[in-house]
Amino acid sequence: MASNWLNKYLVMKPEVSKIFEDLEAYHDWCRWELAPFNEADLYKKNSPVYSAYLNSKKPRRQFNNQARPAKRRNEQNISN
């Protein structure tokens, strides 16, 4: 009976696990970018290192490198 209570007590809440996952991702980014890591900067948008981390996580615009076919205005005028 005590083990059931202990297992229920030791389960981490989703909010807490998200904080730890975010902290670990921020720490990994700082290691790869050689940026100074300070766990107090987590969720502080005015911190320059954390704002650089947030900017790196934004989705980037994908460019279409395929050439588009040129419009043929002369052929359209002739067919009419």
Q: Please tell me the pTM assigned to this model.
A: 0.64
Predicted confidence band at 18 (pLDDT cuts at 50, 70, 90)? very high
Side chain identity at residue 44, one-letter code: K
For residue 77, pLDDT beyond 60: no
For residue 12, pLDDT beyond 80: no
One-character DSSP codes across 9-60: HHPPPHHHHHHHHHHHHHHHHHHHHTPPP-GGGTT-TTSHHHHHHHHHHSPP
Q: What digits encode the pLDDT tens for the residues 29-46?
A: 999 999 999 999 999 999
What pLDDT, on the 0 to 100 scale, is given for residue 42?
94
Domain ranges of the chain: 15-56
Other Cβ atoms within 10 Å of 53 Cβ, number: 19
Separation of first and last alpha carbons in the chain: 87
